[in-house]
Amino acid sequence: MNAIGSFALVAILAVPAAAAAILALLPGYRVTARLNIAASLFTFVIALALFTARPEPGRYLIVDDLNVVFIALNTFVAFTTSVFSASYIGHELETGRLTPVYLRFYHAMYQILMFAMNLALVANNIGLMWVAIELATLTTVLMVGIYRTPEALEAAWKYFILGSVGIALALFGTILVYLAAQAEVGEGMDAMAWSVLVTHAAAFDPGLLNLAFVFLLLGYGTKVGLAPLHAWLPDAHAEGPTPISAVLSGLLLNVALFALLRFKLLLAANAGALAPGPLMITMGLVSLVFASFMLYRRRDIKRMFAYSSIEHMGIITFAFGIGGPLANFAGLLHMTMHSLTKSAIFFGVGHIAQARGTQRIADIRGLTESHPMLGWGLVMGVVAIAGMPPLGIFMSEFLVVSSTFARQPLLALPLVAGLIIGFGALMLRLQGLVFGAPSGSRDTQVTASYVPMFAHLGLVLLAGVYLPAPLVAWFQNVAARLG
């Protein structure tokens, strides 16, 4: 039992790493794209094994209640994105935006990114987790700049500088946590291990812990894309290849938020530490309201959905800030739902931008007529992300709002206002995009794979109607521990 678990734990790291090495050497688009899919699928299947066979917490790696579902989600979206990526990249090669050399590089980077994110999730060491998130940042920087247009380079540079500043602040916070732990646990590796930190957190110096959390919130918050540290996010989403936008929004933001949750657990276990709630509520609300207003002025379709990601990260951070079993439950559910929905939207948007040859919203009209599958897929995705029933996001947003009413009624006002403003913006833009007379003479058909998009949307719909009992139990269990 445990042998299988330990094997699976090592394999979800080893498979992407090995695949990256192979993909860097192999030429040819068809073979590498398929290998990329195969490696991602294999990782996903192995990750599922972690549910049944959970390994003992090791010195460096751990699988616990908090990360096991995120690992599954991460590897699943990585797999579907690799399917989408295969058809997307094929088109990019045909139009000459990517050369075969860059393609090799792209596939290798994709797997390294998966390795880094999986490592960040399973790390049982705050230093190791930091290294993994740094690695994920660096690989995405390189991928955002891959088209080498002036816009892409500017976006990558901005992302690199802001991301590094964030990651530096997070390291400072990590050092402070070590200092707080060292006084209790003693010097050395133990004072950085999660499993040790959580059990001893009650005795840590609250002052140090508070200060550490401020740095960690600012540092990892930059990676989550919380306002006012979000400036890199829209550019990076808009200028990179769309599969990367999907992975950024769907996975990397979640991983950074997951890191924050880990540290929030420490604060929750320490009675003397400040409640992280107010800080998170403020940053979450500011991000939500700010992004909702910004949605109105977007002219670029990928940029618009990037702002929508900021909005949703704001909602999630807000929910964890409110705290309590219900709000935490809603936050976890929203993380899952947003990850699935947003990546589905980017799958659609990627093909739409290819079919129309532009990302300008004003130049895209009447999609339901010219490309019914893409058009209606986008309708469904936007309806889901805007929070309409009966889809999954409606349920999690409803839970956030109702738990806010129960605990802090006044805060519910700006929350609901932000949600409605964002909703309005999305609906307004959606109408122009999908209905009316189709625009443009370049109505090329793209060979799109619709399966990943509709698979995600189907899951979101399913979750909105019926959540499986084991998943609910897991969410409740983790929500209770988050305090």
Partner 1 sequence: MDAGLQFDVAHLLAGGLVLVSFMLLYQDRMFGLLNVFALHAFVLALSVAWQAFIQDAPHLYVTAAIALLFKAVIIPVALHRIVLRLGIHRTLETVVGVGLTMLAGMGLVALSIVIMLPAAVDADPLAREDLAFALSVVLLGLLMMVTRRNAVSQVVGFMSMENGLILAATGAKGMPFVVEISVAFSILIAFIVIGIFLFRIRERFDTVDLQALEMFRGERS
Give the nearest distance from C-beta 211 to partner 1 in angstroms. Answer: 4
Report phi then psi at 321, rounded to 5: -65, -40
- Concatenating the DSSP letter of every residue in 185-209 gives H-SSGGGGBHHHHHHHGGGS-HHHH
- Return the number of other C-beta atoms located less than 10 Å from residue 281's C-beta: 22
Q: Are 361 and 429 in contact (CB under 8 A)?
A: yes
304 binds partner 1 (CB under 8 A): no
The kind and range of the H/E element at 363 are none
Q: Are 144 and 163 in contact (CB under 8 A)?
A: no
Collapsing DSSP to helix, strand or coil, 59 comes out as coil
Q: Are 216 and 170 in contact (CB under 8 A)?
A: yes
- Concatenating the DSSP letter of every residue in 419-462 gives HHHHHHHHHHHHHHHHSSSPP-S---------HHHHHHHHHHHH
Tell me the two tokens of residue 422: 């964002």
**Cβ nearer to partner 1, comparing 145 with 350:** 145
Give the nearest distance from C-beta 238 to partner 1 in angstroms. Answer: 6
> Stretches 45-53, 64-72, 298-306, 439-447: which one binds partner 1 (CB under 8 A)?
298-306
> Stretches 145-153, 271-279, 343-351, 372-380: which one binds partner 1 (CB under 8 A)?
145-153
Tell me the number of residues near partner 1 by CB under 8 A.
50
Q: Are 393 and 384 in contact (CB under 8 A)?
A: yes
Site string for partner 1, 253-292 (x = CB under 8 A): ----------------------------------------
20 binds partner 1 (CB under 8 A): no
- Return the number of other C-beta atoms located less than 10 Å from residue 370's C-beta: 21
> Stretches 33-41, 142-150, 250-258, 419-427: which one binds partner 1 (CB under 8 A)?
142-150
Amino acid present at 214: V
Give the nearest distance from C-beta 155 to partner 1 in angstroms. Answer: 7
Q: How many CA atoms lie within 13 A of 281 on its CB side?
A: 17
**Cβ nearer to partner 1, comparing 153 with 388:** 153
Tell me the two tokens of residue 377: 């897929």
Q: Are 317 and 257 in contact (CB under 8 A)?
A: yes
Give the nearest distance from C-beta 209 to partner 1 in angstroms. Answer: 9
231 binds partner 1 (CB under 8 A): no
Q: Are 104 and 23 in contact (CB under 8 A)?
A: yes
Site residues for partner 1, 163-222, by CB under 8 A, read 164-165, 168-169, 171-172, 174-176, 178-179, 182-183, 187-189, 191-192, 205, 207-208, 210-211
Instruction: Say how far apart CA 482 and CA 478 lie, in whole Å.
Output: 6
| Of the residues 31, 299, 468, 472, which one makes contact with partner 1 according to CB under 8 A | 299
Instruction: Say how far apart CA 224 and CA 253 lie, in whole Å.
Output: 5
Q: Are 110 and 151 in contact (CB under 8 A)?
A: no
The crossing angle, in degrees rounded to 10, of helices 324-356 and 451-465 is: 150
| Of the residues 12, 35, 238, 353, which one makes contact with partner 1 according to CB under 8 A | 238
> Stretches 72-80, 152-160, 273-281, 316-324: which one binds partner 1 (CB under 8 A)?
152-160
> Stretches 40-48, 143-151, 252-260, 464-472: which one binds partner 1 (CB under 8 A)?
143-151
| Of the residues 16, 145, 348, 366, which one makes contact with partner 1 according to CB under 8 A | 145
| Of the residues 239, 322, 337, 347, which one makes contact with partner 1 according to CB under 8 A | 239
- The residues facing 123 across adjacent strands are 61
DSSP character at residue 275 = P
Tell me the two tokens of residue 189: 């590796």
Site string for partner 1, 359-378 (x = CB under 8 A): --------------------
Give the nearest distance from C-beta 208 to partner 1 in angstroms. Answer: 5
**Cβ nearer to partner 1, comparing 96 with 470:** 96
Instruction: Say how far apart CA 470 and CA 276 lie, in whole Å.
Output: 29
> Stretches 11-19, 102-110, 137-145, 386-394: which one binds partner 1 (CB under 8 A)?
137-145
| Of the residues 112, 128, 266, 313, which one makes contact with partner 1 according to CB under 8 A | 128
| Of the residues 154, 413, 447, 451, which one makes contact with partner 1 according to CB under 8 A | 154
> Stretches 279-287, 297-305, 412-420, 453-461: which one binds partner 1 (CB under 8 A)?
297-305
Instruction: Say how far apart CA 266 and CA 66 lie, in whole Å.
Output: 13
**Contacting residues toward partner 1, per CB under 8 A:** 125, 127-128, 130-131, 134, 138, 141-142, 145, 148, 150-151, 153-157, 160-161, 164-165, 168-169, 171-172, 174-176, 178-179, 182-183, 187-189, 191-192, 205, 207-208, 210-211, 235, 238-239, 298-300, 303
